[in-house]
Structure 1
Amino acid sequence: MTGATGASRLAAVVLTGGAGRRMGGVDKPALPVGGRSMRERVLAAVADAEPRIVVGTTDGLPPRVHGIRERPAGGGPVAATAAGLALLVSRSTSGNRGPAVVEWAAAAEDTVDGGSTLGENTVGEGSLGEGAVDGGTVVGSMPATVALLAADLPLLTASAVHDLRTALEGAPTADGVVYVDDTGRPQWLCGVWRTASLRRALGRLATRHDGVLTGTSVRALMAELTVAELAWRGSGPPPWFDCDTDEDLRRAEEWIR
């Protein structure tokens, strides 16, 4: 990772999963807040990240945003995170040339960037392109850090992501930094992570679960990592606010006005 004098390169993995049951089963991230979909707002907050990867519903992605779907669909945020990291590794180690072929089968269906078929290898520690890691430091074209974000965070801003990155640079022993809400509850899907640390944690977790990450809890993944917490001290609405209900959407609209 680059020191405090220069920010490390950032990738972004945006998770669109969740059945939206409390909102009638709609595609939540596609719902508009302030005239723009929530997914579009999250992607705008990480506009300087490369690559930007959306896991889950990938219809209508903007240019230079890559899509992948975990297998099975609805396999949960850990399986989705693994699929996103697998695509990140594939695109980074291949120099972003041509369609991605993912070797770590964190599980994706047959739609990657509109058509590549993913392999079905067993997920295991060391199977996620370990040649791109040397002594714990990501080398080559791999971004050193990755923002891991839910797609239903309409109040997330580039400034809030910058604060997470700055906090991680100032916490050399941490694997990642997440926001905590006003009750002290960590917002696991609103954080920035060291790419190598997150990959190794996914590998360890997969090894203990016979290569199957479907249904694994985010809490189990976070138990594999050293996490620093960041309280929101901005004057605006909290960036970690997610929309699970129609009332949440109304509140987000009011904040944005």
Structure 2
Amino acid sequence: MDFSGVVLAGGTAVRMDGVDKASVELDGRTLLAHAIEAFLDADDVVVVAPTRVSTDRPVTFACEDPPRGGPVAGLLAGLDALPRRPRLLGVLAVDMPRVTATTMRRLREAAPGRDGAFLHDGDGRRQLAGVIDTARLADVRPGPEEQHGMSLRRLLAPLDLAEVPTDGDEAVDVDSWDDLRDLRPPPS
């Protein structure tokens, strides 16, 4: 298949009192379990986070150096931690629990002939869920001193990326306790 995934789980969760978002539960499973499941079709999965936890699926854990360097530093640390470089690399923020393996398949189907594909919400905003051709990523890869704090928008700006509209609530992310509450079904 030549597809691997990187789950970005190293954020600071300021609006959630600094809790480790990866360990937050939704629908009886952690946000990390949801994110790993989105890479059901991936050959390998790297979780970029400052801490390691047990997972149902074997994954590799990595951390950017220094930790909490933002999505670009995390993405590149995840890529470098893979046992072999895939042709196509998926990336997903741990706080997007409605992104599924079907979502990742749609992104991969939109990528041929382009440098990759990313989800875009109803307002046209790029979400932190996408796939990137690793050869093209190597072409735009910044040096180590530039990666920390670099925005993903800036990294991806030179790339030709397909815009894949979200389906349902795929673009919902859990940035606050209210967001998490809104994703849970009402009590019966």
So what's the TM-score if we normalise by structure 2? Answer: 0.92
How many angstroms apart in 2 are the aligned matches of 1:16 and 1:211?
A: 21
Counterpart in 1 of 2:107?
164
Q: What is aligned with 2:139?
A: 200
Q: Is the counterpart of residue 226 in structure 1 residue 160 in structure 2?
A: yes
3-state SS, counterpart of residue 212 of structure 1: helix
Please state how far the C-alpha of 1:147 moved relative to its aligned partner: 0.6
Q: 1:199 deviation in Å?
A: 2.4
Report the CA distance between 1:144 and its aligned residue: 1.2
CA distance in 2, matches of 1:175, 1:254: 37
Q: Is 1:244–2:187 an aligned residue pair? A: no
- In the alignment, which of 69, 72, 76 is matched to residue 63 of structure 2? 69
1:36 matched to 2:29: yes
- The count of aligned residue pairs is 186
Distance 2:54 2:108 in 1: 25
The answer as to whether partners of 1:77 and 1:218 remain within 8 angstroms in 2 is yes
Aligned counterpart, 1:181: 121
Q: Residues of 2 paired with 1:11 and 1:196: CA distance? A: 14
Equivalent-residue separation in structure 1 for 2:100 and 2:22 (angstroms): 16
Task: Give the superposition deviation at 1:200.
Answer: 2.3
Q: Is 2:152 the counterpart of 1:212?
A: no
Which residue identity is paired with 2:65?
Answer: R
Tell me how far apart the structure 2 counterparts of residues 57 and 154 of structure 1 sit (CA, whole Å): 20
Structure 1 CA distance, aligned partners of 2:48 and 2:164? 25
Structure 1: which 5+ runs fail to align?
1-7, 93-141
The CA deviation at 1:9 is: 2.1
Taking the TM superposition and a 5 Å limit, the aligned residue runs for 1:47-126 are: 47-62=40-55, 63-88=57-82, 91-92=83-84
Q: Percent same amino acid among aligned pairs?
A: 35
| TM-score w.r.t. length of structure 1 | 0.68
Kept in 2, the 8 Å contact 1:61–1:67? The answer is no
Deviation beyond 4 Å, 4+ runs, structure 1: none
- For the Cα contact (< 8 Å) 1:85–1:199, is it kept in 2? no
What do the CA deviations read for 1:111-160 (whole angstroms, capped 9, x no partner)?
xxxxxxxxxxxxxxxxxxxxxxxxxxxxxxx3211111101111111111
Residue identity opposite 2:107 in structure 1:
L
Structure 2: distance between partners of 1:254 and 1:175: 37
Give me the CA root mean square deviation.
Answer: 1.8
One-letter amino acid of the counterpart of residue 230, structure 1 = V
1:1-42 residue CA offsets vs partner (Å, 9 max, x unmatched): xxxxxxx42100110021111011100121000010011001
| TM-fit CA distance, 1:86 | 1.1
Partner of 1:192: helix, strand, or coil?
strand
Between the aligned partners of 2:137 and 2:183, the Cα distance in structure 1 is 30
